[in-house]
Amino acid sequence: SSELTQDPAVSVALGQTVRITCQGDSLRSYYPSWYQQKPGQAPVLVIYGKNNRPSGIPDRFSGSSSGDTASLTITGAQAEDEAVYYCNSRDNSANQWVFGGGTKLTVL
Amino acid sequence: QVQLQESGPGLVKPSQTLSLTCTVSGGSISSGSYFWSWIRQPAGKGLEWIGRISASGSTIYNPSLKSRVTISIDTSKSQFSLNLSSVTAADTAVYYCASAYFGSYFDYWGQGTLVTVSS
């Protein structure tokens, strides 16, 4: 399958923990990467590999995977974390890379 | 730190070819560690991977666009380019170029350039 499925929208209270999920067959074989996109800006890589953060990404962002589902967890969400989050993975059946549809995170 | 900058026409007529160039600075486009990608995003919608090229010129394209896409690279100019033929209004989007470390994840992105397909 060449699809990655994400919930369209998730909300979290300020300071609480939120999990954003990504589901797809390819995740059984490949770790996803996660991107944060704020309005009018290019996406920014926040998690890659098993659970790696690029330099400058706060440690409240973490990633995990189990079976066909991967998760991006924000522990202690901040107002500046409000954004759309996309997962991305190599497609298991075709030589291509696929993005999930994105999850809009609202911090209340 | 690698920086990428897209350039090209912001308006393309239907049935014509969309052509964009991405200029890479702060790193070597010839690095064997990187693949160079194009990604697009229609207004209000999600991201779509278009394709990628290696420094040696090896390409992989999104199957849904493969018949219309050509990605090329000019290492002497530190540039790689996207050509998308026979465009329609559905190709209107912000087009991003990005570097993909060993092809696994997109670590650096350009700011994006809006291309509108309209007569």
> Which residues of chain A are within 8 Å of residue B112 when distances are taken between CB atoms?
42
Distance from the first to the final alpha carbon of chain A:
35
Gap from B9 CA to chain A (nearest CA, Å):
19
A57–B contact, CB cutoff 8 A = no
- Dihedral angle over CA of B66, B43, A2, B15, nearest 10: -20
DSSP symbols for B45-84: S--EEEEEEETT--EEE-TTTTTTEEEEEEGGGTEEEEEE
pLDDT at B1: 87
Residue contact B63–A98, C-beta within 8 A: no
CA-wise closest residue to B28 among B51, B8, B2? B2
User: pLDDT tens digits, chain B, 119 residues: what are they?
Assistant: 899 999 999 999 999 999 999 999 998 999 888 999 999 999 999 999 999 999 999 999 999 999 999 999 999 999 999 999 999 999 999 999 999 988 789 999 999 999 999 99
State the average pLDDT over residues A3-17. 97
Nearest to B106 among A33, A49, A90 (CB): A33
**pLDDT tens across A44-101, in order?**
999 999 999 999 999 999 999 999 999 999 999 999 999 999 999 998 776 789 999 9
Q: How many CB atoms lie within 10 A of CB B108?
A: 21
State the average pLDDT over residues A30-54. 97
Mutation choice for B interface testing from A35, A97, A103, A104 by most B CBs within 10 A: A97
Cβ-based contacts under 8 A for chains A and B: 53
pLDDT at B32: 86
Gap from A102 CA to chain B (nearest CA, Å):
6
pLDDT at A2: 63
pLDDT at B106: 96
**pLDDT tens across B55-75, in order?**
999 999 999 999 999 999 999
